[in-house]
Amino acid sequence: MSGVVYNGYLTPLFIAYRANIMFKRLLLLLLIILIPYANAEELRTGLVLSGGGARGLAHIGVLKQLEEMNVPIHAIAGTSMGAVIGGLYAAGYTADEIEKIALELDWQNTLSDSPLREDIPFRRKQDDRDFLVKQRLSFDRGRLNLPLGLLQGQNLGLALEALLVHTNDIDNFDHLPIPFRAVATDIASGEAVIFDHGHLPLAIRASIALPGFFAPVNVDGRMLVDGVLVKNLPVDIARSMGVDRVIVVDTGTPLKSAEQLTSIIDIMDQTTSLLTRTNTQEQIDTLGPDDLLLQPELGTMAFSSFDQADAAILAGAASLSESPQGQAFADRSLRDKPGGNLARIRPLRQPIISSIAVENSGKVSDKVVRSMLRQPLGEPLNLARLEEDMGTIYGTDYFSRVSYEIIHGEETNTLLVRTSGRETGTDYLRLGLNLVDDFKGGSQFNIGASFRVNGVNPLGAEWLTRLQVGENQVFYSEFYQPLDFGSRYFVAPFIDAESRNVEVIVDNDPIVDYRQTRYGTGFNLGRQIANNGEVRFGLSRYKGESRVRVGDPQLPSFNFEEAFYTLQIDRDTLDNVNFPRSGDEARLVWRQSEPDLGADERYEQVELRANKALSKGANSFQLGIFGGRTDGGVGVAQSSFLLGGPGQFSGFRQNGLAGQNYNLGRVVYYRRLNPGNYVPVGIPVYLGTSFEYGRVYNKEDNGFDSGYMTAGSLLLGLDTFLGPLFFGLGANQEGERALYMKLGQTF
């Protein structure tokens, strides 16, 4: 090169040339070193979450580990339980928050349709006392209709609405903190339905509607069920969201052997597994070397085992932490920062409600629904109170589904409540069964039916008819007509007929057993007290007769006429009518038969029955006070209280004590022996005992008087689908002993 060297030194031109070459080489080396890091930052990661019921709670553990390792998630696609967990995470909940929800949620209540008993209208609470066969038959215009699923998913839907209320103004799921997709199945066509917009709680609810267990969800005229039927692992859906690689979490249930299929839960679990195996494997086969498949070690955990949530979450976390590929997904730039949901934090919003609207497809007026909503206008949304109101509306039995949504305007927020009329009809037939046997030849059997016509008019009128045959025969028909849209005031005309056995005891010896028959009609005016009780004042007129059934046929039989003023006050806040753990119940009845109304003679009766339930852990207590009094010259065969049986002077046969007056105090203890079930097919088992102290007597000089006596019983109880089944051993101070078997309860 000409002019390179001058007096032994490099020329400036040559120096510049060499420096340029060295710089280019250094830059190239730097690029080579940094390319992997640049690529890592540019790679977008999708999260794919499968169905699996309770097994799907393992997704929470995976999320916790993703946050711990600082793995950013750019898109989520989920099916069934994967849609639930993935939807909450995409909406901005952290893994720790979702874990807290899963561990604290009342799964038994959430996976049922029944509102909390304290929230349902008082009239529906009384239905529980009449007939305890839990399943009922629905009629629409006289035609029997069967439900489309074991459950409607009402409580599950309300839980999702409450958790995701902050997303109500987001219609496009790409605008969630993390873009999200939920998968459902069109049960009519068999096609996959991919939710990328709409009402997020509804989309998730459709994705988890397991056929047979949950009724299909109607969305835009399509009947949708669980997405596991067509796409349990929506890998292709996640890829379509623009991700470069996916983390796939498969919580499917391994197939059980014939010996392991021992219950309906096992059969449902196995059926779901068989239906999903093929489509799951098809998606797994599409995974490449840059993708990560996690299959948490959940053993034989069933889809209904929500009591094993802790174990499922730990298994999910372990599946990622123990994966050698997991670290490849971590964001190295966030290595020194604490873990957490790397999406935007969900907006904390408590909207001010400026108006309330109702979309109602049921039989009753919109005003009836509106009257049950207590949200004040101009105040922040009260979610706790709204959930109670949803339970009250659903508890009327007019609707198959009750939901809500917050419609956000520019300056206003509207609480929109949607009610869907029952497709199967709102007229209900319930059956009742009562069988008592003291194993000494004394047995009683009653079978009954109740038919209720709901929504007779827009105010919510009802026509209720009861029929019972057997030892005690009953016919009762009442037309219940609310006088306002809130059903605070009502009128209730009725007809009533009853036939029963009454034993007369003189000098403590039974002398005759009468068959008493009474029939009449009446009219009640009442006031409902919130959901906890009601007050009734009524007038009624009866004719009756008492005929000798067992005993000296020379003893007199007689006819009688009665006409009553009646005051009845009821209260019921028990959480369960069969085996209560909290709340109380009370009934006070006063009636006076008045000659001015047409009665043969004047007499007065008062009866008080009160119970208080307490519990701690698996242990429950009931404290009860009962009493009845009769004043006047009326005969024992016309006006007696029937007592006897477990908890009501144990040791005597049921209804084996007849007296015009009684006092009774009791304490009942029982303990649940088996753990709680999270699906409505279990049979709780209880072991209990009772202690009673009281007196039964008549006021005549030679009349019956048991004196004050103690009694008690040992009880084994089962809460079956037919009603409560009791086995008991009773004894009392009088030396009476009895074995009891009691199934069901009527009136």
Radius of gyration of the chain (CA): 35
419: CB partners within 8 A, 6+ apart: 358, 359, 360, 361, 362, 369, 393, 398, 399, 401, 402
Give the ranges where 214-263 is alpha helix by DSSP (H).
235-239
Q: Is 113 considered catalytic here? A: no
- State the sign of the Cα–Cα–Cα–Cα dihedral 134, 137, 139, 142: negative
- Given phi > 0 = left and psi -120 to 50 = alpha, else beta, which region is 547? beta
One of 130, 186, 226, 719 is an active-site residue; which one?
Answer: 226
CB 60 within 8 A of CB 32: no
CB 81 within 8 A of CB 59: yes
Q: Is 716 exposed, middle or buried (0-12, 13-18, 19+ CB in 10 A)?
A: middle
Distances (CA, A) of 114 to 120, 233, 576: 9, 32, 11
Distances (CA, A) of 550 to 403, 453, 501, 544, 567: 59, 40, 10, 19, 34
C-beta atoms surrounding 496 within 10 Å: 17
Q: Is 80 considered catalytic here? A: yes
Pairing mode of beta strands 603-616, 657-659? unpaired
One of 50, 80, 540, 546 is an active-site residue; which one?
Answer: 80
Strand locations in 301-442 (E): 352-353, 355-360, 379-380, 399-408, 413-421, 427-437
Q: Shortest CA distance to 496 belongs to which of 526, 472, 467, 525? A: 467
Relative orientation angle of helices 58-68 and 81-90, to the nearest 10 degrees: 30
- What is d(CA 388, CA 531) in angstroms, rounded to the nearest whole number? 11
Amino acid 92 reads G
Question: Which active-site residues does the annotation give?
Answer: 80, 226
